[in-house]
Chain A
Amino acid sequence: GAGVSQSPRYKVAKRGQDVALRCDPISGHVSLFWYQQALGQGPEFLTYFQNEAQLDKSGLPSDRFFAERPEGSVSTLKIQRTQQEDSAVYLCASSLGGAGDTGELFFGEGSRLTVL
């Protein structure tokens, strides 16, 4: 596809369930980012990949959050034992350049997670 694709678009989970959110970046984009956006707030950085290497995971809020990009393309954000405070929109973004080459981020539509 032409843009960043995320799935599922909507996910409802019961507290304590594990969830997995998928991101398919723009082909050829080196950098991939995950952001968390709470209602009425700006995107908050979670983690960054350059190809398959996770260079920064400083924004992950707890060890229940895990992300991977094993082949340097598709990425998965996994949240274990979900809590109500995890409810948010999870945005994936990709950019063409690598570390140190700051440029436009292309965002997906997001995955809206609701934890009951």
Chain B
Amino acid sequence: GENVEQHPSTLSVQEGDSAVIKCTYSDSASNYFPWYKQELGKRPQLIIDIRSNVGEKKDQRIAVTLNKTAKHFSLHITETQPEDSAVYFCAAPATGANNLFFGTGTRLTVIP
């Protein structure tokens, strides 16, 4: 099955700075890479995703980049705000299946 590794496990940034979280995956056939945000005690929610036919996707302050050759993808958050503080999970699909394998999460703290 797919093996997804995520780092760092914790990240603290000053408000207004950028944050970058990286994930690697093992299955070269994977073609869909979402990022989920989970606030304390809440459900995970999709914030951005990318499919393997593009290398980058942006949505306001959030962007995801994909390097299929190296089998890694990254989440970039610019101009961070305190409400960005949460745990972020990357994920990749199992081969030929719908279920996602999730990384272990990155706890982002934005310091006002």
- Enumerate chain A interface residues (CB-CB to B < 8 A): 4, 31, 33, 35, 40-45, 48, 50, 55-56, 58-59, 91, 95, 97-105, 107-110
Given contacts A41-B105, A42-B104, A43-B89, contact A91 B44 (CB under 8 A): yes
CB distance from B85 to the nearest CB of A (A): 16
Which A residues are in CB contact (< 8 Å) with B89? Answer: 42-43
Which A residues are in CB contact (< 8 Å) with B96? Answer: 100
26 sample A-B contacts, Cβ–Cβ < 8 Å, listed by A number: A31-B98, A33-B99, A35-B102, A40-B105, A41-B104, A42-B102, A45-B99, A48-B99, A56-B94, A56-B97, A56-B99, A98-B98, A99-B97, A100-B96, A100-B98, A102-B32, A102-B93, A102-B98, A102-B100, A104-B49, A105-B34, A105-B46, A105-B100, A107-B43, A107-B45, A108-B43
CB distance from B95 to the nearest CB of A (A): 11
* CB under 8 Å from chain A, chain B span 43-79: 43-46, 49
CB distance from A93 to the nearest CB of B (A): 8
Q: Are A48 and B98 in contact (CB under 8 A)?
A: yes
Q: Are B44 and A43 in contact (CB under 8 A)?
A: yes
Docked pose: A2 CA to B32 CA in angstroms: 25
CB distance from B10 to the nearest CB of A (A): 11
Residue of B nearest to A107 (CB): B43
Q: Are B42 and A95 in contact (CB under 8 A)?
A: no
7 extra A-B contacts, CB within 8 A, seeds A91-B43, A107-B44:
A42-B6, A56-B97, A99-B98, A102-B100, A103-B32, A104-B34, A105-B46
